[in-house]
Structure 1
Amino acid sequence: MAGIPAGARAYITGAVACAAACALPALDPDARTPWGAVVLLAALYAFCELPHVCPVGRRLLGGSVPVSSGSFFPVLLAAALLLPPAAAALVAVPGALAAPVERRPAGPRRVWRAARLALAAWAAAQTAVAVGGGDVLSPASPSPASMVSPASMAPDFPYALLPAGLSTLAFCAVLTALDGGILATAERVPVRSAWRGLLARSLAPHAVHGLAGLMMAVLWRSPYGWPAALFVLLPMYISCWMFAQYHRERGAHQATIRALVQAVDIKDAYTRGHSERVGHASVLIARELGMDEARLEVIRFAGILHDVGKLGVPTRVLRKDGPLTPEERRVIELHPEYGHEIVRGIGFLGEARAAILHHHERLDGSGYPYGLRGHQIPEFARVVAVADAFDAMTSTRSYRRARPVGTALAELERCAGTQFDPRMVRALVRALDRHGWQPAVTADDPHETARGNVPPPRDPARHRAHGGARGGAPGHGGGRDGAP
């Protein structure tokens, strides 16, 4: 588990130990574990993960796009309703270990996923037992034969809604509780915001999974037996296909962002790396402010694309070595409006469009393009303004070396209240105390940027910020984009 913080290693080890303690009673010969049903459900869940690793399955689901294992939670929820708690915990393990991972280290991530799903399935099964789920779905004393073949007693479907709903809620609550813990320990998300919004965002999809799981359990216990439960796989695979389409669309969004950033970098070599670093710093600030994951993604776009309007500025002005004339400065100050026009039709950017237009506004109203004051300036624009100025000051320019991080932060604090929003400046200070600063971030890895993880520098010479005139306050001086 090299590379994983010590707190996260302890957290994962504890989760694995708890999952093992929950599942081990199933191995007791006196437990009368229905191994036929356990094997069948575990194989079904593992089979549902095959499109991840099977080239034919990937093509059927739309290329090599990863499929969310959450689409197959109905199998685990059906197991929670049909099996004893220890046996339900075992069902999740083979599929969770077999499914691929998108980020390294792969081994610990697989083990963590298996532990969290086993704990969630165990909690769901315990809840179902506590509220009498076995009385409405299973015979009083299930045997391996009765669990795999049609039961003599049909489920009492209306009364099964209560145990199914409560077990789904327990499943969802355990997953969100564990996910918040891993965010706090492995991703170093502030504890006060690690769990924020997780349960609310998970309730609706898990409610759908719970209904599908109940349908599987009812069909399993019907006179038609377990083969009838396989029909529930059809809507599950449809949901997988839709999720694959979402990932394909997301990939197209990332390609659009990369193309725009590369176009700006080609036109103004000094900005190479600056846009990505501003996107990273913007995410650090936004996370300290407690913004949810959806807004973090959008503010990353805002930071990365804040200078896209420079595509409308003449190249001779951007690359001029000497001081800018008043006329050239006015041309430079049009770049936020140019940027807004460029991205106005890109719907997925959302609030990022306002940040691109207003990131050079100042709290005292002396900024541009519209001279907005205070909270008239959109929140995203106030975040990007601080991130932009910070990276400009801590990056080497053609006319000066980079300032130390402490010096740059002191300058931001000096200008807070007149030029910058003090709340955003304080958030950046807290974030850098927690994460530090490494000016080598690329737009090609949204997962790393959104979580505050920065890859090691590759070629420092390629990551110089853009040049500019020699005067002006940080972030709104006379630089080629208004940076100092």
Structure 2
Amino acid sequence: MRSVPAWAHVYVACTVLAALVCLTGLPGPRTPWWAVALLAALYAGCEQITRCRFVGHLAPRGMGTFFPVLLAGAFLLPPPVAALVAVPGALVSRVEQRPRALRRVWRAAQLVLAVWAASWTYGALGGPDAVVGPDFPDALLPAGAAVLTFCAVLALLDGGILVLAERVPWRAAWRGLLLRALAPVTAHGLVGLMMAVLWRSPYGPVAALLVLLPMYVSCWVFAQYHRERAAHQATIRALVQAVDIKDAYTRGHSERVGQASLMIARELGMGDERAETLRFAGILHDVGKLGVPTRLLRKDGPLTPEERRIVELHPEYGHEMVRGISFLGEARAAVLHHHERMDGSGYPYGLAGDDIPEFARLVAVADAFDAMTSTRSYRRGRPVAAALQELERCAGTQFDPVMVGALGRALSRCGWEPLVTTEPRRNVPAPAAPAGERAGGTADRGAVGRDAAGRRGR
């Protein structure tokens, strides 16, 4: 919505008009306005916490963070009144992108429609009567239907704004929106239902509000976890971008090695956490090239023995760079040992067989596969089948046969899109690979060496 197209303005206006229609049927004087005011103030107060200068950075973020209050209103109040609870908080909510006023109005209208639909569904299925007394379990079905309705309305409206304001293709706009929101909103719905039950119990609204405390503590812990993960990702991105800037001819190689490493890890049945660490290992395997002089990485002629020894230090440079990053775990060993060979003829330490860490054996296969299948300005890439055949030929001497087999199975199921790089060479008359890929020239070790799988520059 940075520069909002005209059709998006029309869409927002229609949504606001529909929300106003939902609010026109407000009940009469018997409405518990004190409950409406309490829930609206609570929701608005929670939204304001995220804007506080001193504690806002500690508050959990995310559109759904305060949904239990809105869903409790949907379970306790008639539809028009329940929808009104969302308006003050939405209009004062934290908005980081412009146009802020339009975004707040859009958010308010969206929540009004979602809460109204959820409350109507809950009431139509007999939820308000079941929530009191021993019939409480009978309220679970109406509450579940209300949560599903709430998610569906939000997903429907969000998809429309993605199409009109963000120009997302309509076939992709709604894909996954409902499924991604369903699990967290269901958890919020259970908290909201618990609030409604306690509100109607002899303990009253005070007990109902206490339910929110452990829920928000959990949200805060979860938010801290995601902030930490975001910091990890930012650290890795910064390192990879630095490598890509220094060695332009392998730009994107690290990301693809990370992707191939993840495919192998999943094929081997590794858990999500370990597989993610392996992806980091693939992405960072060449970070040590930051310590290699740029003139050597981009040298067009053969390397001297001394220059080759310098380039072969890049795994150790990389290990020194990442050894203090604790969240990388086993990935650090892959950075150091991804040029070791099963027959012991690799570097930097000449490890052989199972002495080579598992992550390093895996990343070595992913690294070689991407190098062979990527088309550069100085040579054409191999077809995927030919690259796999070459890896299988060198399995047992250069590569771990288990890792090669896992990559083959993963590719047969998921496929692979090879890279074609059209970046022009810098006044080089003859097509020759950059020194970064040839540094260690292992042509005497077979075609994999010639295609840079056994090269010293990667």
TM category (shorter chain) comes to 0.5 to 0.7
8 Å CA contact 2:254, 2:284 repeated in 1: no
Look up the match of 1:41. 39
8 Å CA contact 1:309, 1:339 repeated in 2: yes
Q: Give the structure with higher Rg (CA).
A: 2
8 Å CA contact 1:52, 1:100 repeated in 2: yes
What is the CA distance between 1:309 and its match in structure 2? 4.7
Structure 1: how far apart are the matches of 2:115 and 2:159? 18
Percent identity for Structure 1 against Structure 2: 49
Look up the match of 1:81. 75
Alpha-carbon displacement from aligned partner over 1:392-446 (angstroms, at most 9, x marks no partner)? 42x565338xxxxxxxxxxxxxxxxxxxxxxxxxxxxxxxxxxxxxxxxxxxxxx
Is 1:178 the counterpart of 2:157 in the alignment?
yes
Seen in structure 2, the aligned counterparts of structure 1 residues 155 and 240 have a Cα distance that, compared at 3 Å, is: same
Look up the match of 2:212. 233
Alpha-carbon displacement from aligned partner over 1:115-141 (angstroms, at most 9, x marks no partner)? 22221111100101111223334xxxx
Higher relative contact order (CA 8 A, sep 6+): 1
What is the CA distance between 1:39 and its match in structure 2? 1.4
Seen in structure 2, the aligned counterparts of structure 1 residues 9 and 155 have a Cα distance that, compared at 3 Å, is: farther
Identify unmatched segments of 5+ residues in structure 2: 260-271, 323-327, 335-358, 374-383, 393-403, 429-434, 439-449
Seen in structure 2, the aligned counterparts of structure 1 residues 22 and 336 have a Cα distance that, compared at 3 Å, is: farther
Summarize the alignment of residues 19-418 of structure 1 with structure 2, pairs less than 5 Å apart.
Answer: 19-26=19-26, 30=28, 33-58=31-56, 61=59, 67-137=61-131, 156-261=135-240, 263-264=242-243, 268=246, 270=248, 274-275=251-252, 305=283, 308-309=286-287, 311=289, 314-315=292-293, 318-324=296-302, 345-346=330-331, 358-362=369-373, 363-366=384-387, 370=391, 376=408, 385-386=418-419, 389=420, 392-393=421-422, 395=423, 398-399=426-427
What is the CA distance between 1:223 and its match in structure 2? 1.9
Shifted more, 103-112 versus 229-238: the winner is: 103-112
Structure 1: how far apart are the matches of 2:314 and 2:410? 18
8 Å CA contact 1:361, 1:368 repeated in 2: no
SS at match of 1:359: helix
Structure 2: how far apart are the matches of 1:364 and 1:330? 33
Alpha-carbon displacement from aligned partner over 1:80-112 (angstroms, at most 9, x marks no partner)? 111111111111122122221344443333222
Structure 2: how far apart are the matches of 1:357 and 1:7? 49
Seen in structure 2, the aligned counterparts of structure 1 residues 22 and 369 have a Cα distance that, compared at 3 Å, is: farther
SS at match of 2:211: helix
TM-score, structure 1 as length reference: 0.60
8 Å CA contact 1:261, 1:305 repeated in 2: yes
AA of the residue aligned to 1:49? E
Structure 2: how far apart are the matches of 1:335 and 1:383? 28
**CA RMSD of superposed structures (Å):** 5.1
Look up the match of 2:267. none
Shifted more, 318-327 versus 44-53: the winner is: 318-327
Identify unmatched segments of 5+ residues in structure 1: 138-152, 283-293, 401-465, 470-475
Structure 2: how far apart are the matches of 1:4 and 1:100? 19
Seen in structure 2, the aligned counterparts of structure 1 residues 320 and 167 have a Cα distance that, compared at 3 Å, is: closer
SS at match of 1:25: coil
Alpha-carbon displacement from aligned partner over 1:453-482 (angstroms, at most 9, x marks no partner)? xxxxxxxxxxxxx9999xxxxxx989xx99
Structure 1: how far apart are the matches of 2:7 and 2:331? 41
Alpha-carbon displacement from aligned partner over 1:346-392 (angstroms, at most 9, x marks no partner)? 59x99x96866642242142489947799728669976742xx3xx4
Structure 2: how far apart are the matches of 1:334 and 1:376? 31
SS at match of 2:202: coil
